[in-house]
Structure 1
Amino acid sequence: MFEILGLDDQVESVYHIMLRNPDWGMAELATHFGKSETWISAALARLAELSLAEKSPEAGDHWHTISPALGLASILARKEAELARHQQEVELSRGAVSALMAQYSALNVGSPRLESEFYTDLGEVRMKIEQLAREARHEVLAFAPGGVQPKEVLDNSRPLDEAVLGRGISMRTVYLESIRNDAASVGYARWLTDLGGQVRTVSTLPLRMIVVDRSTAMLPLDPAEARAGAFVVTSEGVITPLVALFERVWQDATPLGAPQRRDSYGLTSQEREVLHLLGLGLTDDGVARHLGISLRTVRRIMSELMTRMKVKSRFQAGLIAGALGWVADAETIKAPR
């Protein structure tokens, strides 16, 4: 109970017994606790340090307790003095840090800095997204991985997107191709395009990202876990390559409403990515999570590819896909797992 005052449970129990049995000496205390007299002596020494007990001058091995009202009050007074001294040290340190920061800012006027803000609470992340949208003046670029979103999430996004597009802001968004198989997602994307937004899809995206006016970007703290939070950065050295990445992905993406593009082998980017990921050793479930599609869709794609190759096993499909140049490591494709 009094650990914060320096009184642990064992020493406190000795104190309580001494209060109830003021005539007990060292031997009685040792018998009661089943401890050696050395252990009892250490406990009594600690009580003496805390001003809760003192040795009787007339009896060599007898100790008597000091009233809790006096002893604990003395401990509290010492703790309060320590706290006041610590608070004073903190205030002095804060003043020193503020002075140092002011000196640093004065010496580094005009030097480039990596400006960033971190948000680990999802509510704060949403509020920051709304703020960035309200402050946008020219353009919003976004990568939206994660696949199909619940209809209520899409509906909640409509007022903000409508307000941005209503101000004449250019909005370009890249989704995963898996949204093409979901009616609610397709309806939302078409609603965006009707308002002036532009939507394209790709088989895979590197990360979730929002870039506003090519001057501010929001990125995930952990690309593999969206709930970990996000950070906002304004450094030109970071923004420039992010915009270049977006433009490269946008160029290769397929506009919503257009049929999925096929390469010279007749493969869509999604089909090629499924083969590639399976070739790397991912399970069907791992491929589904990576591409934001269902496990059933992964297996349907593989079944259709095997039908086109006229084979009955994934091992045969891997050999033929490798021979055709569809993937580099297709021979490692294994049965569904």
Structure 2
Amino acid sequence: MLAGLGLTPVEEDVYQHLVDRGEPTTAGLGAALEHPPEAIAEALGGLARHGLVTTAPDESGRHVVGPPTVTLGSLLAARRDELRQVELVITELAERHRAAASRDTGGLIEIVTGLQPISRRFLQILESADREICGFTKTPPIAVGPRDNPAEPVVAGRGLRMRTVVEQSYLADPDSTVDIDQALGRGQEIAIVAELPVSLVIADSSIALVPLLAGPQETPRAVLISSSGLLSPLVTLFEKTWADAYPLCPRAADEEPTHYADTTPGPARLSPLDAKILDLLLAGLTDRTVANKLGVSLRTVTRRIRHLMDLAGADNRIQLGWRASQRDWI
């Protein structure tokens, strides 16, 4: 039990006996414990070096133990310091191993292992961008989720263009509406697709971080890519996906509803509720999911969709999407 503090089995037996029985002599310890006298003498010497046992000053040969919370606590603190030093050495060795691996690949890629290192690299990429950040957000996020990212508002305040394609399943999160509205309010551009192949973040088309798929019991890993030859396909993938995705538009919370005649041409504004229903509907969500996300009844959603179809002069939902685009409702 005390081996973790550096005590041998004999030292632990002697120490526990001293704690239970007071101040026995060496002879008494030999009679009580099934250890040879030389082993007990060696154990007493080891306990004394650890500061756990002292010999009574009256030359009676009795051995005294101090309060365990003090003596063992001091030993425990020293062991913790040693372990902290070992941890620092391990960290240094890991960095050296990473640097060697980078040299082996010409510095073009780096394998990042563990949630904390991945999160650190992710934030470093965001903070290093000069022009634009773009990325894919799958569900669930591997390292940094939308509300776990303190650097995103700071980066948005620097005037960089930020484009994110979000997987449709992310909208099932009850808090996703708030997250998206806040991001849109900061000027971020967000679009929705049914499914994404990977999560990734790309800064200035010059560096990318791509989390690797891992099982629930596996340590998360990601690839940091700085090779233009490897980056080019990722940038192309993002741009193609962005072009095909459904864009979300920021809506003013206090915007007054506006009604339109069936023949009203040109740009138009919808009530906040109708606008959100239309956005989520065109993003591919079912009526029931839309109702759950907006906190209204399914009947209300169905009625508002019918109202939108009447306003647009649409006979079905496919026509509604087409005419909503014509009227700049989306």
| TM-score of the two chains, using structure 2 as the length reference | 0.44
Larger radius of gyration, structure 1 or 2?
1
Which has more helix, going by share of residues?
1
